[in-house]
A and B are shown apart, each in its own frame.
Chain A
Amino acid sequence: MENGEGVVKKFCYINRKAPYGTIYALESLEVVLIAAAFDQDISLVFADDGVYQLTKGQDTDGIGMKNFSKTYTALGDYDIKKVYVEKESLEERGLSAEDLQALKYEDEDDDWAEKDSLFVIGREEMAKIIDEQDVILSF
């Protein structure tokens, strides 16, 4: 990769805001899609109101904004395999894993078997994962 000199860092994109109301979620997704081309070790984190970004059945007709929720299901095609959703953030909002879109990727090392890329994890484990990162971008 140009100017990357083969360096692979752990990049973490933390999404903490609702999908609509502000532009942060959409523009975060734009960063992630570009970042995927740089062969870095990418993790996505969804916490606080950010968990709403992944919910099923979003309908934006009434607010006249682009519904970009389907783009999340394409993340697997960009080789993004680690999407962490904070369990407590879901619970605090009356949500559970069933309310979220399924995110999958095809594992090239396992005959392209379809595997889950979304992991619901607790706050403590989330802290550990964030602590391991080299670069954190929070939106």
Chain B
Amino acid sequence: MKFGIVINEGPYTHQASDSALQFVKAALHKGHEIFRVFFYHDGVNNGTSLGVPPQDDRNLTLEWSGLAEKHDLDLVVCVAAAQRRGILDEDEMGRHGKSANNLAPGFRISGLGQLIEAGIQADRLVTFGD
């Protein structure tokens, strides 16, 4: 089956990102396809490369980046939600005249159309949030 994944909450405060990560791993293990993972609302905060969680805890951003590299996942961060919350790639940094960028490897910034497309293309769109 082809899954689309939506993550609506940031890391650590909510379990949404952890649950989605476990779901994606299990789905891939069973041979399913992940069409796209779309990060919306505070979910965009999963894409910051600047998080430094304690060493004895999981690092969700690193986990997503690693999984993306291993399985060629499409991790999409919503541009409008990201701009509000200070998640920028190099292009966005330049466009808005900011002094830094922080999008983690394996993530890309794009529009809400990517979410709708995931709904159209996937057999199931599964939302992780509150």
Contacts and interface: CB of A to CB of B under 8 A. Distances in A.
Given A34-B111, A137-B127, A27 B40 contact: yes
B120 A27 contact: no
B120 A30 contact: no
Contacts of B25: none
B81 A27 contact: yes
Interface residues of A, number: 21
Contact of B112 (A9, A34, A138): A34
A44 to B, nearest CB: 14
Nearest to B129: A138
Contacts of A27: 40-41, 80-81
A23 interface: yes
Contacts of A30: 80, 112
B127 A24 contact: no
Interface of B: 6, 8, 40-41, 80-81, 111-113, 115-117, 119-121, 125, 127, 129
Interface of A: 3-4, 7, 9, 11, 23-24, 27, 30-31, 34-35, 37-38, 40, 134-139
